Structure 1
């Protein structure tokens, strides 16, 4: 016998619970729920890669830059290309402009190949701003 129908919605619940805790500034609980969501969100789910992005943002807010970079890259590997934008903000914060430019250029290529014109525009703007 398969899982009850409502189990199809559990991964999103874990993700949105993490987002709620993040919004409240409760990073400890946010991280726990993001990690739980990672265990349940499968590749065919819209939210695939989102919890890693969330963990990257929490880590960046905590000034744990290596950890943030790890999570943003994990999110990108899962195909959540918006994490290139977050990664560029991280590199800007730590003043690593060369890494920012490199990652943004890579993100532009991948976003263009995916047909994500909005992200291409956002990343191109980041690249222009980095040149100032």
Structure 2
């Protein structure tokens, strides 16, 4: 079973006080190189965790350590220039506007990876992207 991790599942892994920490961490710890995330997700995780108003704050070097842990565990998926533009063109033909375009790009990475499951806590953000994506979407609690 190939699992694709959205940033909404990865952030709680590294933030112990997050309500979804336990269920997200269990899946991450069990993940291997046959599981995936989008390359751009590393930036999302870094930006989110280092931007949280925590005391003590997660520092830049700590954020990079987290990025390295994700890289060591998951296979990173990128889109070529043509795939990227095609994904945006497909998204533009529907109702995808604004920041939802980023979800569409991540979803296309999941399709490219041949994922069986797209793990996210933001189910609605992905199920609105069409049936090919919607059938993959699950929360960690559904596994």
TM-score after normalising by structure 2: 0.30
Q: TM-score, normalised by structure 1?
A: 0.32
More helix by share: 1
Q: Which has the higher strand share?
A: 2
Max radius of gyration: which structure?
1
- Compare relative contact order (CA 8 Å, sep 6+) and give the higher one, 1 or 2: 2
